[in-house]
Structure 1
Amino acid sequence: MDDLPAFSLLLPIYRGDSAEHFRRAFLSSVEGQRLRPAEVVIVRDGPIPAALERELRVRIEASPVPVVVVELPENVGLARALTAGLSAAKHEVIARMDADDIAQPERFAVQLPLIASGLDLVGSAIDEFVEDGDVTRVIGRRTPPLRHDEISRRARLQSPFNHPSVVFRRGAVDAAGGYRDLPLMEDYWLFARMIQAGARTGNTAEALVLYRVDAGAYGRRGGLRLLRSELRLQCDLRRTGFTSRRQLVRNVLVRAGYRLVPQLVRRAAYRRVLVDRSVDHVVETPDGRT
């Protein structure tokens, strides 16, 4: 793997993150990887609880790779936090990681060769999981479109990437205008603009990230705040010529409606349409928990 590019791992944290979840995210995406990042850039998005602060210090001291901490005095939101992290990263290739997910050991060993082959943006399938005490159960898999042409078509309707799984070239992000503030839709808006700007994209069907689904997951996918972001996104996609008028109408009717239905209906629709539930099983996570 000596011919693969060095890369930075970008991991934002904020006051709502769990110290234990952050520990597992860090260990799985750094020490547990067959191919480790050359550095970790942690963006502390505003003040964080004492337990999370202690865990952060432990991870910095014990890390086998350099850790850079970008400290933002106030919570500025994900888009601005990620932008600050990108500015601090030393390497052209950047891997995203969320503070409550778990990376599979082969994640970067699978994705970096795809970047080295010439792709600018690479994601993967993800396994959604829940925890019951010490038991970790995968309850579904989200597999994105794999080839660039499929990704481009899907992007007109919904995000073609599972955002916690992506690795990208910073130059391709910059060419698309970088992250822009759009609450809860920042990643989709960036991916669409990257595709429109000519980024070469791909996904792998291998589930390389365990994605935590907690009790509030379906509630966060709805509500007026997300509806406002959804409508703004759809208008921006149309304004830039990424979608047609017909696609705009279709997306507003389907996606805005999805944001407004009761949570139980939203959960049922999401699980039926977007998630492969045949993979339901108990797993041993990379840190040895089952």
Structure 2
Amino acid sequence: MPVGDARGDGPVDRTADDRPARPAGRPERAEPFAVLMPLWGKDRAERVEQAVVSATEGQQLRPDLLILTVDGPLTAELEELVKRVEAGAHGPATVLRHSAHRGVAAALQDGLETSPYELVARADADDLCRPERFALQIPRMQAEGLDLLGGAMREFSERIAPGEGPLRTRPLTHAEITAYLPRHSPFHHPTMVLRRSTVLAVGGYRDLPLLEDYWLWERMMLGGARMANLPDVLVDYRVDEHLFARRGGWRLFASDLRLQRRFVMDRVTTPTGFLRNVGERGVYRLAPGWARRLAYRRFVEHDGRTA
């Protein structure tokens, strides 16, 4: 059974007048859902616009609402884009603004709490959603009462066109995901659809640099969430020259240590598993960027299932 809302309020119950208008041509049988996309000043406007279009107008099953969370000051070009989004250029939209940059966990939590809908799809401001993404995910969430549903991704970059890059997969079934989670994150965050009440029941997004999603998956698993991944490629994931630099360093290794300690306390892993996981992550985080890139390419491009 799914977890109830620990705060006692459950999913927001709003009247029809309080909801954004249903997009034209949307099947009545499809459960309404929102797309949640965080945005900050270092995003590039042309990439953000491509991401927004791919998650709204470009979808076979269009969302009922786009929630754009603006995390801190923006460039003038991004401000113009946000104004167009807020005016409904790409469909019904809500824009949440914060004057200071607080981090992705806070931005996502605000968007999640704001959503009038129980189903919330994550999308990033520089990735591209495949047109069939929500047409595949929303019916599956409805039919099986899932709390978490993700899928596969393909990388692309300035050198590699969408659809031609390395494939990233994750385990498909609830049992496989549960077995996989103690050692690696079992979901690709940019592909996820989440059940709002279940996420809020376990405390929602909490700040942990680069690992806020992995921590959330662990808490949802412990809370009884029903989880699955689709084998389909749902998102084209942008990889730039700075990716591997961002994946290393002492700050992120400290996040690994915090999360692995939590896994031991929650009995998700054993002390032996803790030492193994910390050792693997220490080598990865503290290696030079070129070595991290080689290791990543060696394992991700072969089986798509490294952390």
138, 141, 144: which one pairs with 1:115?
141
Output the CA distance in 1 between the equivalents of 2:256 and 2:79. 33
**Superposition pairs of residues 39-50 of structure 1, within 5 angstroms:** 39-50=65-76
Q: How far apart are residue 62 of structure 1 and its match? A: 4.5
Aligned counterparts of 1:277 and 1:56: Cα–Cα separation in 2: 38
Identical amino acids, percent of aligned pairs: 43
Root mean square deviation, CA, Å: 1.6
Q: Superposed, which structure 2 residues align to 1:48-197 within 5 Å?
A: 48-117=74-143, 118-132=145-159, 136=162, 138-197=164-223
Aligned equivalents of 1:246, 1:277: Cα separation in 2: 25
* Deviation at residue 58 of structure 1 after TM alignment: 2.2
Structure 1 portions without partners, runs of 5+: 279-290
Of the candidates 248, 258, 261, which is equivalent to residue 235 of structure 1? 261
Measured after TM superposition, the shift of residue 50 of structure 1 is: 0.8
Deviation at 1:64, TM superposition (A): 4.7
Give the CA deviation at 1:61: 2.8
Provide the TM-score with structure 2 as the length reference. 0.87
C-alpha distance in 2 between matches for 1:124 and 1:231: 27
Q: Deviations over 1:48-85 (max 9, x none)?
A: 11111111222333435311011111111011111111
Supply the AA of the counterpart residue of 2:248: G
CA distance in 1, matches of 2:30, 2:95: 25
Q: What CA distance in whole angstroms lies between the structure 2 residues aligned with 1:64 and 1:232?
A: 40
Structure 2 residue 252 is matched with structure 1 residue 221: no
Structure 2 unaligned blocks of 5 or more: 1-26
Question: Deviations for 1:233-286, whole angstroms, at most 9, x for unmatched residues?
Answer: 1111111222121211110011121111111111111111123489xxxxxxxx
Residue equivalent to 1:284: none
Q: How many correspondences in the alignment?
A: 277
What residue identity is the alignment partner of 2:83? R
Query: What TM-score does the superposition give when structure 1 sets the normalisation length?
Result: 0.92
1:90, distance to aligned residue in structure 2 (A)? 0.8
CA displacement 1:24-48 (0-9 Å, x = unmatched) = 0000000000001100111000111
**Greater strand fraction, Structure 1 or Structure 2:** 1
